[in-house]
């Protein structure tokens, strides 16, 4: 730590100088957005260099703020340039007809075995892929409802941790299952965005 | 009770709210800033936006421009969110939370400025957005160096004078807030102070002014 931190700081400082120089020289707006995103990663690196539990906990909010700023600036860019979603037939290849069923099944099953946040993300990748390839006719109110209940269960599990610590295993099981459902339900909606259905 | 090294933080504390070791507080100074931000947030909530009036040259005629209600609603929402972020920034007792609130002010300022369908205004909003994004580097970097140099982010421990906060961290914090609070300059460039939805634009000025005042207090006290 004693040696690694100053060395890391020097590396980050050099990277910041390189990144900002590139930004000054770059004239294309789209490329400048990408470069600012790279520069924001350096802020996270600065936090990560501290290398304590607290620093680890600070990275997530830092990342979220960075992404939301990136989205805001991208929206401004889209409005500024008057860009629209491309018209024409959707992208189709053969594997998108044959693979979704089996791949989604494997990913969702493996996600359920993992459970928790990671499991939710993996199961969601399966669901995203399925919705992207096969389209969707489902009612999203149902998914939203399941997601909402899962969130309530997750919070309830935390109340068990706080007030009935003796039942921690029960609470872990509830929280793990609920966050799996929650993350999966939320992320699977991403897969439906490409089709632009009436509910999205 | 959490054991606080400093009992006297920027003047006698008026109100203290503890979340573990994150202790939000009011001193007379920050309470004044808070009331100021609160008044302007309330004004944004109740105000009815004015219409831009154009006068036809060489006659008595004038006409008011149409305002898209959707954009106006979005702008009002962003202005209220900006007010709330400012409220958080002036009352928080944690350096990292302050930087988060400062970048939230930056994001909402982008939203307020960008709620026009005018090419010049959007260009200015885009440039400001780039600056605000880049400002997060020194902002978070400053907070990270404070954490690395002193081992804590709580203002209650940093304000005592017992901790030696590196000068570069203070400089980074000021630089970051300058970037996030730079919106008024871009607004002047885009000349949208006189444009539609004038009361919401006020929030940009108020929030950046309060951010500057607050970061001055933090840097001087550390």
**Are B125 and A40 an interchain contact pair (Cβ–Cβ within 8 Å)?**
no
pLDDT of res. A198: 43
- Give which of A58, A59, A61, A70 to mutate to test B binding, by max B Cβ within 10 Å: A58
Q: State how far the Cα of A27 lies from the Cα of A200, in Å rounded to an integer.
A: 35
- What ipTM does this complex have? 0.80
Q: State how far the Cα of B66 lies from the Cα of B117, in Å rounded to an integer.
A: 12
**Are A72 and B136 an interchain contact pair (Cβ–Cβ within 8 Å)?**
no
Instruction: Provide mean pLDDT across the span A167-190.
Output: 84
Instruction: Please report the sign of the dihedral spanned by the C-alpha atoms of residue B163, residue B166, residue B171, residue B177.
Output: negative
Q: What are phi and psi of B160, to 5 degrees?
A: -65, -25
List the single residue in A with minimal CA-CA distance to B99: A62
**Are A69 and B123 an interchain contact pair (Cβ–Cβ within 8 Å)?**
no
Instruction: Give residue A200's pLDDT band: very low, low, confident or very high (50, 70, 90).
Output: very low
Instruction: Give residue A139's pLDDT band: very low, low, confident or very high (50, 70, 90).
Output: low
- Identity of the residue in B96, B107, B123 whose CB atom sits nearest the CB atom of A72: B107
**Are A40 and B137 an interchain contact pair (Cβ–Cβ within 8 Å)?**
yes
Q: Please write the tens of the pLDDT for every residue from B173-212.
A: 999 999 888 877 776 655 555 555 567 788 888 898 999 9
Instruction: Provide mean pLDDT across the span A95-121.
Output: 81
Q: Please write the tens of the pLDDT for every residue from B65-107.
A: 777 778 888 888 998 999 999 999 998 888 999 999 999 999 9
Model confidence at A22: pLDDT above 70: yes
Structure tokens at B162: 């017992």
* Lowest-confidence pick of A23-37, A90-104, A185-199: A185-199
**Are A68 and B144 an interchain contact pair (Cβ–Cβ within 8 Å)?**
no
- Give which of B88, B128, B135, B140 to mutate to test A binding, by max A Cβ within 10 Å: B140
Question: Chain B contacts of A43, Cβ < 8 Å?
Answer: 136-137, 139-141, 144
Q: State how far the Cα of A60 lies from the Cα of B109, in Å rounded to an integer.
A: 22
Q: Where are the domains of chain B?
A: 15-221
Q: What are phi and psi of B62, to 5 degrees?
A: -145, 160
Single out the residue of B1, B2, B5, B16 nearest to residue B157, CA to CA: B5
* Lowest-confidence pick of A4-8, A21-25, B45-49, B174-178: B45-49
Strand, helix or coil for residue B63: strand
Residue found under tokens 């006698």: B12
pLDDT of res. A14: 92
pLDDT of res. B140: 92
Half-sphere exposure of B13 (CA within 13 A, CB side): 18
The DSSP output letter for A175 is H
Q: Please write the tens of the pLDDT for every residue from B132-170.
A: 889 999 999 999 999 888 888 888 778 776 778 888 889
Q: B170 CB contacts (<8 Å, ≥6 apart)?
A: B142, B219, B222
Model confidence at A195: pLDDT above 60: no
């Amino acid at each position: 730590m004693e040696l690694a931190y100053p060395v890391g700081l020097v590396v980050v400082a050099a990277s910041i100088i390189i990144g900002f120089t590139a930004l000054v020289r770059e004239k294309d707006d789209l490329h400048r957005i990408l470069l600012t995103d790279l520069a924001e990663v350096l802020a996270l690196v600065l936090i990560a260099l501290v290398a304590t539990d607290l620093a680890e906990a600070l990275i997530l909010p830092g990342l979220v703020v960075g992404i939301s700023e990136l989205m805001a600036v991208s929206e401004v860019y889209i409005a500024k340039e008057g860009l629209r979603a491309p018209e024409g037939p959707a992208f189709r290849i053969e594997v998108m007809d044959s693979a979704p069923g089996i791949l989604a099944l494997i990913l969702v099953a493996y996600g359920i075995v993992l459970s928790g946040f990671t499991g939710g993300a993996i199961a969601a990748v399966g669901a995203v892929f399925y919705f992207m390839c096969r389209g969707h006719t489902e009612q999203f109110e149902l998914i939203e409802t399941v997601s909402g209940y899962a969130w309530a269960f997750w919070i309830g599990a935390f109340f068990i941790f706080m007030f009935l610590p003796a039942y921690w295993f029960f609470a872990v099981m509830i929280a793990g299952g609920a966050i799996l459902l929650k993350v999966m339900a939320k992320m699977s909606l991403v897969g439906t965005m490409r089709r632009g259905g009436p509910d999205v | 009770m959490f054991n606080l090294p400093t009992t006297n933080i920027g003047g006698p504390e008026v109100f203290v709210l503890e979340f573990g070791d994150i202790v939000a507080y009011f001193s007379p100074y920050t309470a004044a800033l808070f009331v100021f931000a609160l008044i302007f947030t309330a004004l944004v909530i109740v105000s009815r936006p004015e219409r831009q009036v154009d006068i036809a040259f060489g006659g008595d005629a004038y006409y008011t421009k149409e305002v898209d209600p959707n954009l106006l609603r979005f702008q009002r929402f962003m202005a209220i969110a900006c007010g709330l972020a400012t409220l958080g920034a002036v009352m928080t007792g944690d350096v990292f939370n302050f930087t988060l609130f400062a970048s939230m002010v930056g994001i909402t300022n982008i939203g307020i400025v960008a709620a026009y369908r005018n090419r010049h205004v959007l260009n200015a909003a885009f440039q400001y957005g780039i600056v605000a994004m880049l400002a997060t580097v020194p902002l978070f970097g400053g907070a990270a160096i404070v954490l690395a140099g002193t081992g804590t982010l709580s203002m209650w421990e940093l304000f005592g004078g017992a901790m030696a906060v590196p000068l570069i961290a203070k400089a980074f914090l000021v630089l970051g807030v300058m970037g996030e609070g730079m919106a008024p300059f871009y607004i002047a460039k885009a000349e949208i102070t006189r444009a539609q939805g004038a009361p919401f634009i006020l929030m940009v000025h108020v929030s950046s002014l309060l951010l500057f005042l607050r970061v001055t207090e933090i840097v001087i006290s550390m």
